[in-house]
Chains A and B, each alone.
Chain A
Amino acid sequence: MNFGFLVGVFGVLILSHAAYSTIQYRGLLKIMEEEFSRPPINVILELIIGLALCMWAALTFPGKFLSIHPDSDENRAVSLPDNSDFMIFNHRGRLFPPEIDMKF
């Protein structure tokens, strides 16, 4: 499996570890009967690192992004579908049927 996927897994693990530490910290504060305003500095740092890793993995893992401009070179309209609801069969090609043998 490629590098982006591993980085993504690592980022998710870091985020879940940060969540677990925050829960533990809150439990500690409840014992000491203090207010919970924000998680400690190292957890915030862990959150930022986890965010950066997950974003990098999300952008690199899925592969090539498709163009969304309607006038870009890949998406521009080249032709319209041939109107097959109104297709008629008496054209000149009628006189040159291809040789098809069939066994079904």
Chain B
Amino acid sequence: MVTKTEETQLNQLEIQVDNGGGGAWEYLCLVRNLKIRRSEKVLKHGSSILNDPKKRSALGPDEWTLNEQVAIAAMDCQCLDVAQNCVKALQKKFPGSKRVGSLEALLLESKGLWGEAEEAYSSLLEDNPLDQAIHKRRVAISKALGKPSVAIELLNKYLELFMADHDAWRELAELYLSLQMYKQAAFCYEELILSQPTVPLYHLAYADVLYTIGGVENIISARKYYAATIDLTGGKNTRALLGICLCASAIAQLSKGRNKEDKDATAAPELHSLAAAAVEKEYKQKAPDKLQLISSALRSLKI
């Protein structure tokens, strides 16, 4: 979970390093710790450090971590010769290492040689059948080949063994969403909320899925989860605020045929008006030229 301070720090460092100021190594460490995918910049600055023998020796033992990071970034940007060189350097330094072995298989994946990569992963799995990263790479191979159902099957088997891996649950939820299997995706998000209840983005995603499934009960639950997201982010998440406004209009429309007591129980008019006011305030602050659009949209939602 990336916090606001970390994000501003990252952006500042990025601007600083891009404009030629120092701090490339801090930027690379920050990207590695936050696990963000900034492959082009990592490749550019990482290879500039590795090309310079003075800076490279100044790193000491961290040089090999940098090699690994640059190798993966190079594979992501399709600079395969850079990746090959990094992997070769790592192979020379750590022969017979499993971590370097999985990097080599990753290189095969990025070259598009899915069959060889699959074989490499199976042989690595024979040596240690409980390696989490290798299982996950097999799922990624099926995903890259465009077979989401195979990926889902593999991922389900993986999750039977390692139920606490929340990255895997997230990936499974996204795979289900790509196949429009919303109920299963909702189940995955429920697991995520159970294991990490303080991450507001899971509540937000769950609310989105519930709103998509539709039906009055689901939309009432979605409204609750949008409200939880607003609580956990201190009111700064515009998507959750808009979600509440949309839920309000959906509930009003769907409960037109019901009798008065039911409607009153589910109404919550103060929440709706507060959310609408908060949205307008955000727009006034951040995008004042679009304030007109959002006000008219909110007014049409009230009907």
Chain A residues with CB under 8 Å of chain B are 69-90, 93-95, 97-98, 100, 102-104
Contact = CB atoms under 8 A, between A and B. Distances in A.
Contacts, number: 117
A85 B136 contact: yes
Contact of B37 (A72, A87, A100): A87
B76 A76 contact: no
Nearest to A93: B77
A75 B231 CA distance: 13
A101 B198 CA distance: 44
A103 to B, nearest CB: 5
Q: Which of A69, A72, A73, A98 has the most CB of B within 10 A?
A: A98
Judged by DSSP, the binding face of B is: helix
B44 A78 contact: no
Given A93-B78, A97-B77, A88 B143 contact: yes
B164 interface: no
Interface stretch (B3-11, B250-258, B262-270, B291-299): B3-11
Given A84-B35, A86-B167, A88-B143, 12 more contacts: A75-B4, A77-B233, A78-B3, A79-B2, A80-B170, A80-B199, A81-B2, A83-B167, A90-B144, A93-B78, A100-B44, A104-B51
Nearest to B80: A97
Given A71-B233, A80-B199, A97-B79, A89 B2 contact: no
Contacts of B110: 89
A87 B76 CA distance: 9
Contacts of B78: 89, 93-95, 97
B76 A86 contact: no
Contacts of B168: 85
Contacts of B236: 73, 76
18 contacts: A70-B232, A76-B3, A77-B1, A78-B3, A79-B7, A80-B2, A80-B170, A81-B34, A81-B36, A85-B133, A85-B136, A85-B167, A85-B168, A89-B76, A94-B78, A100-B43, A100-B47, A104-B56
Interface of B: 1-5, 7, 34-37, 40, 43-44, 47, 50-51, 56, 72, 74-79, 81-82, 85, 89, 109-110, 112, 133, 136-137, 139-140, 143-144, 167-168, 170-171, 198-201, 231-234, 236
Contacts of B5: 74-75
A54 to B, nearest CB: 31
A89 B139 CA distance: 13
A89 B105 CA distance: 13
Nearest to B165: A85
B199 A104 contact: no
Overall SS of chain A's interface: loop
Contacts of B81: 102
B2 A77 contact: yes
A70 to B, nearest CB: 6
B32 to A, nearest CB: 10
A83 B40 contact: no
Contacts of B198: 70
The 6 A-B pairs at the shortest CB distance, nearest first, are namely A71-B234, A81-B35, A88-B144, A82-B37, A89-B110, A85-B136
Given A71-B234, A84-B35, A90-B112, A98 B77 contact: yes
A52 to B, nearest CB: 34
B112 A83 contact: no
B144 A76 contact: no
Contacts of B136: 85-86
Contacts of B34: 81
A73 B4 contact: yes
